[in-house]
Structure 1
Amino acid sequence: MILIVEDTESLRKLTRKILEKEGFSVDEAEDGEIAFEKISGETKYSLILLDIMMPKMDGMEFIKTLRSFSEVPVVFITALSDERSQVLAYENGADGYLIKPFSKALLLSVVRRFEKKSSKPINYDDLTLFKSSRGVFIKGEEVHLPTKERELLFYLEEHRGTIKTREQILDAIWGYDFYGNDRVVDKHIAKLRDRLGEYSRFIKTVKALGYKFEV
């Protein structure tokens, strides 16, 4: 899961769209305080894309605090192109520095470099999941899942053993601004189970509540 910390909504949404289209799982925060709330929750982030000039808590203050308890990779994405800012970023613990405006190709190149380093397989019998790259394999053969089905699988796996309601799944996968019926979750779960075949047994239906990933 990649966390984008950026106060400019249009850029935050665009970056998220680019990454999700390439199969990455993405979360976002509009400032450092909200980002720390997310980091202290259940979700484990493999990479943070961090702006410097933000309200409430700027990027430099954020990374100083973060490095007191976490070594998660941080790449600054900022309009500050001067040498002093870059040196300060690395001195404070940054792993990369990307200057705005940036191209889609450069963004993906940076993200893939760090995601590849942190990608370790998780095996459930012959079902293998790569969290960072969002790869799904059965008996060594890649299973090509549509984006929503893939995110459903990884969301449930990341919260394995915990019941997730349809409303929680909708918020996490479709977003808070989704206005459709929550039965869309059931339809995508059904399609996901079909694609996973016998390994759909890991996705349990909890009657009247929701779903959970259980081994």
Structure 2
Amino acid sequence: LGAWIASGVDHIWSGRDHVSFVLMLLLVAVLVRAGGAWTTRAPLATLRHTAAIVTAFTLAHSLSLIAASLGWIRLPSRLVESLIAFSILYTAIENILRPDVRWRFAQTFAFGLVHGLGFASVLEELLPPDHVIGPLLGFNLGVELGQLVIVAIALPLAWLLAHQLGATRYRRQIMPAVSAVIGLLAVKWLIERVFGLTLGSFWGM
């Protein structure tokens, strides 16, 4: 079981698209808009809000990962990978233009279903045909543990930036800059996956 957990951790850490999507979610989690002005959420409120968003993503990709691994869902890998890139691009644009979306929880759940299918396509190549449940649970647990480490590192950094720079400056400078960089990477990934091209690498991405 330990090897499958390690495999799940390694996949989420090496999956630049999945990490990018989680970062897009965390960027806006530290802010709240009250009375027309942006403020930094209190630490506990940030944790509660982040927990809700991450839970939506976790529940969704766990459901689709299990369903796809058991053969209940079948989608072309190219389509799934293209939709994953689209989810990152859409969220990045939303962070730049309108980050205080009311439907972020439902949106995260929907995109999480797509990311789970991406996890399943990797796991499908590794699963032994006669022993699925144990490796599936171990891999999924590893993905969750790896995701928690990403959140544990990135969320405090985002909160400290918003707190030190001020929520308004963070919203107008940091969020658009980071979202734009990741959004451009998502455009590259989307073009490559839709058209089957290789556009070269940018810092290995």
- TM-score, normalised with respect to structure 1: 0.27
Greater strand share, 1 or 2?
1
Q: Which has the larger radius of gyration?
A: 1
Tell me which of the two structures has the higher relative contact order, counting C-alpha pairs closer than 8 angstroms and 6 or more residues apart: 2
